[in-house]
Chain A
Amino acid sequence: MSEVPGVVPDPSSGSIRGRTPTGLLGDPAPLLMVRGVSKYFGGIQAVREVTFVVERGECVGLVGPNGAGKTTLFNCICGQLRAESGAVEFAGIDLGRMPTYKRARLGIGRTYQRIEVFPDMTVREHLLVAEQARRGEGRLWKDLCNLSRPSSDERGRVEDVLELIGITDIAGTPVSALGLGLCRLVELGRALVGEPQLLMADEPSSGLDVHETAELATVLRTLQKERGMAVLLVEHDLGMVGECVDRTIVMDLGQVIAEGTFDEVMGDPEVRHAYLGTTT
């Protein structure tokens, strides 16, 4: 969990800006590259020639009105949907037709717009199974010979994440007994246990109250600084977006209509018209 080299925190603007870390060959390599991705969904073109990058260690906000195609885009990046055209590259690897689970193992973590927790399990079990899933296929003979128990390393990692997110006190509670805010934190923990290079968070503060949202923002920020994790964040809570992100992309009707710093983008007249309205 070392700091990302070459990145200098800039206290005056409150955001992390710096040189992009260089790859092995000395070229700056964006972590995630989305190029010309298009997708029809439900009879309409949900995503239209979308192109953008996410650099290592960078936090990018993706905002836009409903129906803009943000979740569809997420699903294309993660492999749940297959884009009709365009390409998605992660850490230099073309994801092509790779199935979702392989993309996850490459280092993409994800939370979902509608909560997808495992109702039968406790919080700790959620994180444990995510930790185990990093090992790859469950080995049948290992299970039979009782060699599958999580090692102390693995359990330690799980405890670390629990503490980082601040849910150690409810680690033993079945998730079906928890409210939405805590479930979202559990999902976040589950995504983080795999130590992803990129976290894709789809409306993580939806349904959370002000304090829970602030906690979430803090956690994301900490992760970015301490682990050099990149974050692609879809959000409607603009306060949270403003606090967390280094760069903002605005989508509407499947296309990118603005890109830049948060303030630049929020001042863009087209964005105001399509998304913000007049009273914000």
Chain B
Amino acid sequence: MSPGPAAATSAPGGAAPPTSTPALEVDHVSAAYGPYRALFDVSLSVPAGGIVALLGSNGAGKSTVARVVTGLLPTTSGSIRLDGTDLTNKPAYKIARAGAAHVPEGRGIFANLTVEENLTLVFRQRAGRQKVAQSLAAAYEAFPILGQRRKQRGGTLSGGQQRLLSLAKVLVVPPRLLVADELSLGLAPVVVDAVYDGLRRINATGTALLVVEQQVDRALSLASTAVVLEHGSVAFAGASSEAMVEVEKVLAARGDRTVLFDGEPPAPHPGPVDPVIQSRRDRRWSIGRSKREKPDREEQS
């Protein structure tokens, strides 16, 4: 599998000057799913051309932030600015046209359309009619497996191939801001390598990235800044090097199961800990750390 795409269209150039407007500004945003509140006064920003990792335990609100930023979910308060333009609560398609792209977690493609139709739909919109053929060619070159299956219905692709398809949609015509939600979920490690390579490439051409991840080490190897969410609010925002410790704290402190409106949280569940597993768990963490420091080192068992 070739490691990354070549941009088919002219993308925003080079590194951004340090005083330019941030690609994304989330300002004191709160959000809810119907009556269930999910985000409480979240603020973060992604500098132009920068990469921010969004971390936290399950249910912390990471995907909610992604949805709010790209307009899938309305905010109950706060504002969102893309390249300085206020896009709070605008319909999702307007935000997409303004330059935001979202790779949602889960399937992210149309199962009933063929691979080629999936790509055509977005290329026609983002790159314009004239450039569709060119973009398709670039997509198939970057992801040959998609080229082989171009006439197949999206629903017949395997999970990982579907993820590659949703990536091809955004990598070939790079947006100003890419929000990637749990890209590595359910993907084989070798595929995740390719995916992250692709992310690096479009970042080099100026796309800002907001990477929501469960695999902390991967995300931190890519991003310079990290934001850690806990129970719908920001627990930490700062350099990646300090984020790891914070994430560990947050995950370890996670005792209660569900966030409550009122009443006492139930006592944290102790859980049996098999000493065999504990020792391996410790070793695994060190593998992760050494991976970050020396990316070329082979895995040690």
Q: Do A and B bind each other?
A: yes
Q: Which A residues form the contact surface with B (CB < 8 A)?
A: 14, 42-44, 64-67, 113, 166, 169-170, 173, 177-182, 203, 206-212, 214-215, 217-218, 221-222, 236, 238-239, 242-243, 263, 266, 273-280
From A43, A169, A218, contact of B273 by CB (8 A): A218
CA distance A275 to B273 in the complex (A): 30
Check B272 for interface membership: any CB of A closer than 8 A: yes
Which A-B residue pairs are the 4 nearest by beta carbons?
A: A66-B160, A67-B158, A277-B190, A42-B156
* Shortest Cβ gap from A98 to chain B (Å): 27
- Contact check, A169 vs B266: say whether CB atoms are below 8 A apart: yes
Chain B residues, CB < 8 A from A43: 152, 156
* Shortest Cβ gap from A70 to chain B (Å): 10
CA distance A81 to B245 in the complex (A): 46
| Given A43-B156, A210-B216, A277-B193, 12 new contacts (CB under 8 A) | A14-B276, A42-B156, A65-B160, A66-B160, A178-B258, A181-B59, A207-B58, A214-B277, A215-B271, A218-B274, A236-B187, A243-B277
Q: Which residue of B lies closest to A278 (CB)?
A: B193
> Which of B36, B254, B271 has most chain A Cβ within 10 Å?
B271
* Shortest Cβ gap from A255 to chain B (Å): 15
Q: Which residues of B (264-301) have their CB < 8 Å from a CB of A?
A: 266, 269, 271-274, 276-277, 279-281, 284, 291, 295-296, 299, 301
CA distance A208 to B296 in the complex (A): 27
Chain B residues, CB < 8 A from A173: 258
From B155, B276, B301, contact of A266 by CB (8 A): B301
Check B238 for interface membership: any CB of A closer than 8 A: no
- Contact check, A179 vs B58: say whether CB atoms are below 8 A apart: yes
One digit per residue, 1 when the CB lies within 8 angstroms of any chain A CB and 0 when it does not, for chain B 164-192 equals 00000000000000000010011111111
CA distance A170 to B163 in the complex (A): 33
Q: Which residues of B (116-165) have their CB < 8 Å from a CB of A?
A: 152, 155-161, 163
Chain B residues, CB < 8 A from A170: 257-258
CA distance A77 to B153 in the complex (A): 26
Q: Which B residues form the contact surface with A (CB < 8 A)?
A: 36, 57-59, 152, 155-161, 163, 182, 185-193, 214, 216, 251-252, 254, 257-258, 266, 269, 271-274, 276-277, 279-281, 284, 291, 295-296, 299, 301
Chain B residues, CB < 8 A from A279: 189, 193, 291, 295-296
Quick one: given A66-B158, A207-B214, A279-B291, are A181 and B58 in contact (CB under 8 Å)? yes
- Contact check, B274 vs A64: say whether CB atoms are below 8 A apart: no
Chain B residues, CB < 8 A from A14: 276, 279-280
- Contact check, B190 vs A221: say whether CB atoms are below 8 A apart: no
From A166, A182, A222, contact of B274 by CB (8 A): A222
- Contact check, B185 vs A206: say whether CB atoms are below 8 A apart: yes
Quick one: given A279-B193, A279-B295, are A243 and B280 in contact (CB under 8 Å)? yes
From A207, A266, A275, A278, contact of B188 by CB (8 A): A275
13 CB-based A-B contacts, threshold 8 Å: A42-B152, A64-B188, A66-B160, A66-B161, A67-B159, A173-B258, A177-B36, A206-B185, A243-B277, A243-B281, A277-B191, A279-B193, A280-B189
> Which of A169, A173, A221 has most chain B Cβ within 10 Å?
A169
